Amino acid sequence: MRTPLSWLRDFAPIDADVERLTELLNELGLVVDGVSRVGEGLGGVVVARVEEIQAIEGADRIRAVVVDVGGTPTHVVCGAWNFAVGDLVPLATVGTVLPGADFAIARRKMRGVESNGMLCSGAELGLSADHGGILVLPEGLETGAALTEAIGLAPDVVFDLDITPNRPDAMSVAGVARDLAGAMRIPFAVPDRPAPALRADGPGAPPAGAGRETAGDRDPVTGARVATEDASLCPLFTARIVEGLTVGTSPAWLTTRLTLAGMRPINSVVDASNYVMLELGQPTHPYDLDLLAGPALVARAAREGEVLRTLDGVERVLGLGEHPDCVITDGDDRVVGIGGVMGGQSSEISEGTTRVLVEAAYFAPMAVARTSKRLGLRSEASARFERGTDPDIAALCADRVAALAAGSGGGANLGAGLSTGHAPPHSRIYLRTARLNALLGTDLGDAVVHGHLERIGFGVSVSSPGEAEVEVPGWRPDVSAEVDLVEEVARHHGYARVARTVPTTTQVGLLSSYQRGRRHLRQVMAGAGLVEAWTPTLLGPDDHGLVGRGEEAKGLSLTNPMSREESELRRTMMPGLLRAVRFNVGHRNENIRLFEVGKVFAPPPAGRGLPEEGEQLAAVLAGPGDDATAAVRLWRTLADGLRLQDPGVRSATPPGLHPTRSGELVAGTAVVGVIGEVDPAVAAAFDLEGRLGWLQVDLEALAAADRLPTAVADVSSYPSSDVDLAFVVDESVPAAEVESTLRRAAGELLIGLRLFDVFRDQALLGAGRRSLAWRLRFCALDHTLTDGELAAVRQTCVDAVQSAHPAVLRG
């Protein structure tokens, strides 16, 4: 919300420097996003009338323009196309340094055509953010006059405020001024009549109340009437007729304010409507009365399938939602507007309009919000109505728009003020000072609390000390409970003035064992030399297909994804990690070994509801020499780091992994993950070459797996002895099976078991067999093992392996 300081001063005698005002606004929660100083440095800018526009040969972006500057024709070259011969435009004369520029406008030649100055946009003049075209000035200004004088622009300050959605009142200049005046403890008042400080040719005294005393739902003179058929959608409907007006450009003071507030002037009627909306917060809608079939406006619920072409030219179909849409119809029950959202094209104000019916209604906020959302149609009006306008000022605003439109059009007659329905009653809230202090941690007295509220328009009736009934003004629909009043008091007392304390708890702060385990797991991975990545949770359907996980993902895809590539919840981290590897390969980064800990998803059990989600660790090894064996070593490091009991690898063919070089991970009897190499076809699909080790562990399964006993295992002080055993074993038997036979047979004396040699030699060992050699280390806790003991345990081991497996001891 762009708020000029001069406009704020219409409502309160604000006298403070810009820094202090910025601070005050911020402390009120009307956060200042930016402050611009306008109207300074425009001394060299004059009003010019466009006399002639010529194409320049060989140039299709710029044109030669001749402007009249108080009798002197001036030639300029201009790149904007939004003006026509006869328009008044601002000309920065040669030598002018525009606001924010660090150079003076110079005489120069473009495409051989001389340019003696520059036609300016609102942005170039520092008046608005609009740089879409030249600022076309209102009619009636004297050419050659200094722009600032002609449009009544005194040096001013515009605050760009970020208004939170709970504050419809602060979406108007009056609302901002009211809050500011309360904080500054200065008087605030809405002037009875438009009383802009800048008026030179402002509107004459409008007959503001004229006809209002006879107000009903029907104008006795014109026969125009208003009605609301659905009070739940439109509780209050007011309107005012203006006849005999001429639609033209608005007076300069008005267009200047609109421009400073960030709106483009359109015509005198639309500008009047916009002006009042910015000033007081009430959106109004002007209809061309002659384009309505019958001088009536009726608010009712849309019937299913009713159609309206709105002002933006789009055909809207109404009455299709779960909740009713409020429409405005004319005397023939034809839809001419969507209540609180946008009017229709058929009754739009045009240059030929002479009779206007100004609508100013109070629409139910939720109804406007639903309709606006369903239609995907947001407007300045809907933004205000859905947050809640002040129903008490609807009629006043209809009058004010009518007066402003009539005043600028000249010679108009105002009809009676029409009104039907009722403004909702003001809510009354019980406020306890003790409760307020208990929530804020303050010690404020009744008088202080009530003073803060009264200064911003709340009515306070004290029932007994410490208790009051507070009447909420119509412009604060957001205040509906005691705690809302507490916030109002806190805002005006100042958050910064609340003494700071820290609550204490007897709870001991710590991580859960799962959370500790997860941190530990990450540290083990980093300790093993891997780098942690964070890849996207959202993938494309193709990604899952590429890694062999293209199964149906019912309940995991999005209705409104940003793109197809981000339209499904990931079921595996493989695509994300492979893409990360690819990026690093592409940038010639080395030693690419990545891991990620994150959520993966499975379809909800019944195909709907919350998907199943679990945390996984995934690691991809793409460094020099990395392959499935590197992944197995990483698994051993992880199992050791986490002190897993009986970790192992079992044969399996998980999706996406190399069919003959992968398996699943077990801890005890539980399967906790998969391991191996990425399927070469999958790697190729991600534009990767060579072997890629892959490790993937389910964190919940891992957390549940048994750990080694916490009690320390005794270490013997007696010497140990090694026994090497080599077996020729069929390829069909995994080494791990022989190893576990050895472990069982070796019994308690075994303190170490390590596979140290594997070799294949068809001539020596025969086809389909390989030699596996283990070193077994034995030790007793209470004595040095004798040769006899060692020989016995060796024989037990050999016998066990040879009887359990197709394996033979090598001599």
Partner 1 sequence: MTGSEARSGTTDAGDTRPSVNQREEAARIVAGGLEAVSAAGSLEELRSLQTELVGKRSALAGLGRTLGGLEPEARRVLGAELQDARARLEEAIGARLSGLEQSERAAALESDRLDLTEVMGDSSRGHLHLLTQTRDELEDVFIGMGYRVAEGPEVEDDWHNFEALNLPAAHPARGMWDTLYLDQGDTESILLRTHTSPVQIRVMETQAPPIYIIAPGRVFRRDTPDARHLSTFHQIEGLVIDRGITLGDLAGTIESFTSAYFGPGMHSRLRPSYFPFTEPSGEFEVTCPICAGGGCRTCTGTGWIELGGCGMVHPNVLGAVGLDPEEWSGFAFGFGIDRCAQVRHQVPDMRVFLDNDLRLLTQF
Residues 499-528 that bind partner 1 (CB under 8 A): 499-512, 515, 519, 522-523, 525-528
Instruction: Tell me whether residue 175 or residue 194 sits nearer to partner 1 (CB atom).
Output: 175
Q: How far apart are CA 82 and CA 120, in angstroms?
A: 12
DSSP for 45-77? EEEEEEEEEEE-TT-SS-EEEEEEETTEEEEEE
Residue 410 or 605 with smaller CB distance to partner 1: 605
Site residue total, partner 1 (CB under 8 A): 94
Instruction: Provide, rounded to whole angstroms, the least separation between the CB of residue 621 and partner 1.
Output: 12
Site for partner 1 in 419-458 (CB under 8 A): 438-442
Query: What element of type H or E holds 449?
Result: helix 446-455
Least distance (Å) between residue 740 CB and partner 1: 31
Q: Name the 3-class secondary structure at 524.
A: helix
DSSP 219-288: -TTT--EEEES-TTT-SEEEEEEEES----PPPHHHHHHHHHTT-----HHHHHHHHHHHHHS---EEEE
Cβ(571)–Cβ(553) below 8 Å: yes
Task: Output the smallest distance, CB 362 to partner 1, in A.
Answer: 16
Provide the token pair at 302: 């849309």
Shortest Å, Cβ 520 to partner 1: 12
Looking at beta carbons only, is 225 or 492 nearer to partner 1? 492
Ramachandran category for residue 49: left, alpha or beta (phi over 0 → left; psi -120 to 50 → alpha): beta
425 versus 607: smaller Cβ distance to partner 1: 607
Q: Of 95-103, 306-314, 356-364, 579-587, which segment contacts partner 1 by CB under 8 A? A: 579-587
Measured in residues, the chain has a length of 811
Q: CB under 8 A: which stretch of 186-194, 215-223, 295-303, 586-594 binds partner 1?
A: 586-594
Pick the closer one to partner 1 by CB: 264 or 522.
Answer: 522
Nearer residue to partner 1 within complex by CB, 477 or 663: 477
Q: What is the 8-class DSSP label of residue 122? A: T
Smaller CB distance to partner 1: residue 2 or 387? 387
Distance in angstroms (rounded) separating the CA atoms of residues 411 and 408: 9
The first and second tokens of residue 801, run together, are: 């392996």
Tokens of 211: 């006809």
The residues in 557-576 that bind partner 1, with binding defined as CB under 8 A, are: 557-562, 566, 569
| Bridge partners of residue 237, in order along the sequence | 361, 420
Least Å from the CB of residue 623 to partner 1: 10
Residues in 150-179 at the binding interface with partner 1, rule: CB under 8 A: 164-167
Shortest distance in whole angstroms from residue 523 CB to partner 1: 7
Structural element, H or E, at residue 740: helix 735-746
In the 8-state DSSP scheme, what is residue 656?
T
CB of 486 to partner 1, least distance (A): 6
- Residue choice 187, 216, 352, 529 for contact with partner 1 (CB under 8 A): 529
Among 593, 661, 770, 794, binds partner 1 (CB under 8 A): 593
Q: Which residue in the set 331, 451, 459, 536 belongs to the binding site for partner 1 (CB under 8 A)? A: 536
Q: Minimal distance in Å, beta carbon 165 to partner 1?
A: 5
Shortest Cβ distance from residue 259 to partner 1 (Å)? 25
* Binding positions for partner 1, 386-405, rule CB under 8 A: 386-387
**Nearer CB in complex with partner 1: 249/389:** 389
CA distance 40 to 26: 25
**Of 329 and 371, which CB lies nearer to partner 1 in the complex structure?**
371
Q: Which of 317, 498, 681, 791 binds partner 1 (CB under 8 A)?
A: 498
The C-alpha angle 416, 418, 423, rounded to 5 degrees, equals 140
The minimum distance between CB 606 and partner 1, in angstroms, equals 10
One residue of 481, 704, 758, 791 binding partner 1 per CB under 8 A: 481
190 part of the interface to partner 1, by CB under 8 A: no
CB of 482 to partner 1, least distance (A): 8
DSSP 613-634: EEEEEEEEEESTT-SHHHHHHH
Backbone angles phi, psi at 203, to 5 degrees: -65, 150
Among 85, 190, 447, 483, binds partner 1 (CB under 8 A): 483
Show contacts with partner 1 in window 225-254 (CB under 8 A): none
Q: Which run of H or of E encompasses 795?
A: helix 787-804
Euclidean distance between CA atoms 806 and 645, whole angstroms: 28
Q: Is 464 in the site for partner 1 (CB under 8 A)?
A: no
Q: Pattern 11-50, binding to partner 1, x per CB under 8 A?
A: ---------------xxxx-x-------------------
DSSP-based three-state secondary structure for 574: helix
Residue 727 CA to residue 275 CA, distance in Å, equals 95
Site string for partner 1, 319-348 (x = CB under 8 A): ----x-------------------------
Measured from the CB atom, the residue of 278 and 530 that comes closer to partner 1 is 530
* Joined tokens for residue 791: 């020989």
Stretch that binds partner 1, among 61-69, 201-209, 397-405, 600-608 (CB under 8 A): 600-608
Nearer Cβ to partner 1 (560/717):
560
227 forms bridges with which residues in the sheet?
A: 298
How far apart are CB 333 and partner 1 at their closest, in Å?
27
Residue number, 532 or 551, with CB nearest to partner 1: 532
C-alpha to C-alpha distance for 306 and 396, rounded to whole angstroms = 32
Interface with partner 1 by CB under 8 A: which range of 55-63, 125-133, 539-547, 607-615? 607-615
Nearer to partner 1, 547 or 738 (CB): 547
**802 is a site residue for partner 1 (CB under 8 A):** no
The type of residue at 36 is: S
List the beta strands (DSSP E) in 116-234.
Answer: 118-119, 156-162, 225-228
Among 599, 633, 775, 805, binds partner 1 (CB under 8 A): 599
> What's the order of all strands across the beta sheet hosting 750-759?
750-759, 769-778, 721-730, 807-809
What lies within 8 Å, CB to CB, of 790 at 6+ separation is 721, 723, 778
Near partner 1 in 350-369, by CB under 8 A:
365-366, 369
Cβ nearer to partner 1, comparing 104 with 366: 366
Residue that has been written with the tokens 């500054």 in this structure: 184
Q: How far is the CB of 662 from partner 1 (least distance, A)?
A: 23
DSSP-based three-state secondary structure for 408: helix
Residue reference for tokens 């810009």: 18
* Binding positions for partner 1, 95-114, rule CB under 8 A: none
Cα dihedral 439, 440, 446, 452 sign: negative
Q: Does 277 bind partner 1 (CB under 8 A)?
A: no
Dist CA 421 CA 232 (whole Å): 11
Provide the angle, in degrees to the nearest 10, between the axes of the packed helices 268-280 and 252-260: 50
Residue 316: exposed, middle, or buried by beta-carbon count in 10 A (0-12, 13-18, 19+)?
buried
The minimum distance between CB 33 and partner 1, in angstroms, equals 10
Q: Which residues are within 8 A (CB) of 442 and not within 5 positions of it... i.e. 6 or more apart?
A: 436, 493, 498, 499
Phi, psi dihedral angles at 729 (to 5 degrees): -125, 140
Q: Which of 532, 730, 761, 799 binds partner 1 (CB under 8 A)?
A: 532
Contact pattern for partner 1 over residues 541 through 560, marking x by CB under 8 A = --------------xxxxxx
Whole-number minimum distance, CB 386 to partner 1, in Å? 5
